[in-house]
Chains A and B, each alone.
Chain A
Amino acid sequence: MDPILQTEGLTIAFGAYTAVDDVTLAVPRNHFKSIIGPNGAGKTTFFNLLSGQLKVTQGTVKFKGQDVSALPPFARTRLGMGRSFQITNVFPKLTVLENVRLAVQSQAGVRFHMLLHYRSRRFRVFEEGALHLLDMVLLGSRRDTLAMHLAHGEKRKLEIAMLLALQPDLLLLDEPTAGISLEEVPAILEVIRRIKSEGDRTIMLIEHKMEMILDLSDSITVLFNGKLLADGTPEDIMNNEMVQTAYLGGLYDDAVASQGHADVY
């Protein structure tokens, strides 16, 4: 089967600085790929190129066989790309429910309706769909809270619910556990695992927590200074000399160690 996502020579330069440098990559359908690399490696920038937040300097992004390099973010969303942000990105002064309801409304293609009330019988389904998703990410009881008052981990779960509302075929998750208290991490992991187990989505994950990556991934891509350093199965990557010297180093031992007691989760 054709890969759902393909990049060719993907490059972006900010002035003289090349943040993503000639990355060529293919991701098969329903695959779980993690992206690792030290801070500043260009992982977030890479996602920004995929989702259209940034325009490529050179190279192409192909999604479902179509060159989307020139499309704005909303167009890529409509094609089935959904992304979460490393910095939590919700509507702070809207309720939790409204945050998700807007996403459901968009997915239903209701964009320019301006006669009926948003809670009229015809549109009530959006609210119901949103409530269902909130239950799935364990936020059902917080529906009427303003998003700005959620705890950090809850915001993350809210973002994931908004993302799922768009029913994306490709899910781009940028450090979903970043800045979250340790107790909240298992809940996030659980949500990601649930999404994966549905088996009908391609997921790309940026993470630093190696045990989480090894647990979830079908393959791993390593970025370093904007360049693609390695790409392969988790075993390949863990045994790759170059990766170890360049990046993993001490982390490798950590990961092996934590694999030993992975049942902590």
Chain B
Amino acid sequence: MVLIGLPFVTDSRSFLMMLTQIFIFAVFAMSYDILLGYTGIVSFGHCMFFGVGAYSVGVMMNEKGAAIGSLLLAILIGMVLSALLSYIVGMLSLRLKSHFYAMLTLAFSGLLLVLAEKWRSVTHGNDGFTFQVPELIKDRTVLYFIALVIMVLVYLGLRRFIHTPVGRVLQAVRENEQRTESLGFEIVHYKVLASIVAGITASLSGSLYVLTLRFVNTTVFSMDMTLNALLMTIIGGVGTLIGAIIGASIIEFAHHWLTELAKFHPIFERWIIFFGLLYILVVLLFPAGIVGTLRSKWHKYRKARPQDTDPSGVSTESESQGKKVNVS
């Protein structure tokens, strides 16, 4: 509610921009959480899907002109390419031990980074290029609402996804691959599926991201992007979609403030140091991520039964027994 009313009361464009970016990175972080938090797959190259979505929009807007139709087509193309890419990478590596996927995604994202740098006629290399966007989207408030709506839709969509029979199997894969297989589920299909869903969602966030900048360059393929997703997911709490949103907010706020503070002292430009500190702090205070830890504390407090998706598993048997005693 507050988020809906906000654009009408604030006139700080940069604040609106930051929230828009938070929504977009929340989508990116949620996509990563499908892999890491729900299926237990580690990726070191998740930026590649982000980048594919980003360049699809940038190149299309640049070449075909800024119409809503071609924008939607570009987003769709990004998603299809990401789906293909994630399918290929998944089929190549997800049958093998888990670190193969991590390494192969790293290799592929590195490859795409080099491609984006060298294919200058299309990408303008490192420098990137600015492009026009459709008239409608030039309005910051419109963009804000688009990002907000998409974040909410992605949240609802992914939440439904993890609560379908397939989603439940993904969590079983995360818990115990061998056991899942011996129940009769062919796990490679589930991992590839998770990888595709995550890839498509990440692509969408990449497309939105460059729309806010009206500019794209090779940083969308950089390791930093993947690290962002990783940090946001872990800080918020793996295996909780809300956690990904909260993680995205914290990282983006921190980023913003550090940039402000850099005016006073250059140390604050070294934001990676502060993210490192933030990360250590969170891991110490919230071992299961902010949402994960708060959730299990809440359960303890309420003496309620543990939730089955609780990734921390901090709630104990004695609690549920304790509850029974209380009730009877």
Contact = CB atoms under 8 A, between A and B. Distances in A.
Do A and B originate from a single complex?
Answer: yes
A244 interface: no
A144 B304 CA distance: 11
A202 interface: no
A6 interface: no
A150 B313 CA distance: 13
A146 interface: yes
A193 interface: no
B5 interface: no
A51 interface: yes
B306 A51 contact: no
Given A73-B181, A144-B320, A166-B183, A117 B163 contact: yes
B63 interface: no
A3 to B, nearest CB: 23
**Interface bracket on B:** 20 to 34
Contact of B313 (A78, A92, A107): A92
Contact of B168 (A78, A98, A162, A166): A98
B302 to A, nearest CB: 14
A265 interface: no
A14 interface: no
A145 B308 contact: no
Contacts of B161: 114
B86 interface: no
B255 interface: no
Nearest to A110: B165
Given A90-B179, A117-B164, A111 B185 contact: yes
Contacts of A145: 306, 317, 320
Nearest to B160: A117
B181 A72 contact: yes
Interface string B152-193: 000000001101111111011001101111111110010001
B320 to A, nearest CB: 6
A262 to B, nearest CB: 34
Among A83, A105, A115, A148, the one with the most B-chain Cβ atoms within 10 Å of its Cβ is A105
B189 A107 contact: no
**Interface bracket on A:** 35 or more
A242 B311 CA distance: 53
Contacts of B269: none
Contacts of A73: 181-182
B98 interface: no
Interface string A169-190: 0000000000000000000000
A73 B311 CA distance: 27
Given A74-B185, A93-B311, A93-B313, A114 B166 contact: yes
B303 interface: no
A1 interface: no
A92 B167 contact: no
B140 interface: no
B310 interface: yes
Nearest to B314: A146
Contacts of B178: 53, 89
Interface string A67-87: 000001110011000010000
A112 interface: yes
Contact of B176 (A90, A111, A115, A123): A90
Q: Which 7 A-B pairs have the closest CB atoms?
A: A149-B317, A91-B175, A114-B166, A106-B184, A77-B184, A95-B308, A114-B164
Given A105-B169, A111-B165, A144-B308, 13 more contacts: A73-B181, A74-B183, A92-B175, A92-B313, A93-B311, A94-B308, A95-B308, A106-B183, A106-B185, A113-B164, A116-B165, A145-B317, A150-B317
